[in-house]
Amino acid sequence: MNTIEKQEDMRPLIVITNDDGIGAPGIMALQEALMELGDILVVSPDGPRSAQSNAITSVVPLRLHQVKGEEGLAVYKCSGTPTDCVKMALNLIADRRPSMVVSGINHGVNTSISVIYSGTMGAALEGCVDDVASFGISIDDYSRDADMTHAAEYARKVAEWVLKNGLPRYTCLNVNVPKGKPKGVKWCRQAQGSWKEEFERRVDPYGHNYYWLGGEFVNHEPGVPGTDQEAVESGMVSIVPVRLDMTDFGFLEKMEKDFKF
């Protein structure tokens, strides 16, 4: 479990980020929900960075601007990805070791396979890489005026629990909140699913083609209890513990026995 260092006269430092950008209602709600639990350091992208996964910016340099600095709350915006934001928070900005990284509240659910594309979860995984207890939280509502009341309440509940208990060294949490008042919380596994994609071709004013990616989620395990997708569809908050170690140990064991080049 991560050691939360008890520093005398110091409140826990909580890093907050997201992938919808600095002005998104979800990050404002998260910030408010966690204010009482510790000092808040917000480092968020300067605009939307959805589906940026664990991408790192290395081809161009990064810009960083402080937009707020008051007692218990510092806010920065960064030109990079959510993962860049966490790296900057932990390795450049924070004046002490953070106790927790929380990413969200994302406008749109990150259940099932979305965990590998999500910038929200990319940021949570990055905290985890650096041995800081981390979770991402998303709501099953894409609209900018989504009601964040319940999601914020559960963000705080999970944050309190994580601050108290820590998390295993290479594991973070993927929390997804249904629309409306949740019926409760369910620990889940990641549902198997994929996005069915279509590219829409358009022609620019100069006669050249360009393409927009569109698609819809397909649940390969519809209605299967124990999956995050089913939990959220049933009105529950799902929590999936997510591992940094992606090794398929079952197949590894088989291959070690069966197969030699």
Binders of a second copy among residues 239 to 258 (CB under 8 A) are: 239-249, 251-252, 255-256
Question: CB–CB of 173/52 below 8 Å?
Answer: no
138 touches a second copy by CB under 8 A: no
50 touches a second copy by CB under 8 A: yes
194 touches a second copy by CB under 8 A: yes
Task: Bin 91: left if φ > 0, else alpha if -120 < ψ < 50, else beta.
Answer: alpha
Question: CB–CB of 117/154 below 8 Å?
Answer: no
116 touches a second copy by CB under 8 A: yes
218 touches a second copy by CB under 8 A: no
The nearest distance, CB 116 to a second copy, in angstroms, is 5
Q: What one-letter code names the amino acid at 106?
A: N
Residues between 12 and 31 that touch a second copy (CB under 8 A): none
163 touches a second copy by CB under 8 A: no
Q: What one-letter code names the amino acid at 153?
A: E
Q: Which of 187, 222, 223, 225 binds a second copy (CB under 8 A)?
A: 187
88 touches a second copy by CB under 8 A: yes
94 touches a second copy by CB under 8 A: no
Q: Which of 110, 31, 108, 117 has its CA nearest to residue 81? A: 117
User: Which range, of 28-36, 61-69, 97-105, 133-141, touches a second copy by CB under 8 A?
Assistant: 61-69
212 touches a second copy by CB under 8 A: yes
Q: Which of 32, 130, 147, 221 binds a second copy (CB under 8 A)?
A: 130
**101 Cβ contact partners less than 8 Å away, ≥ 6 residues apart:** 14, 15, 16, 17, 86, 89, 90, 123, 124, 126, 127, 128, 132, 133, 134, 135
Q: Which of 216, 215, 242 has its CA nearest to residue 228? A: 242
Q: Do the bridges between strand 100-107 and strand 133-139 make them parallel or antiparallel, or are there none, so unpaired?
A: parallel
142 touches a second copy by CB under 8 A: no
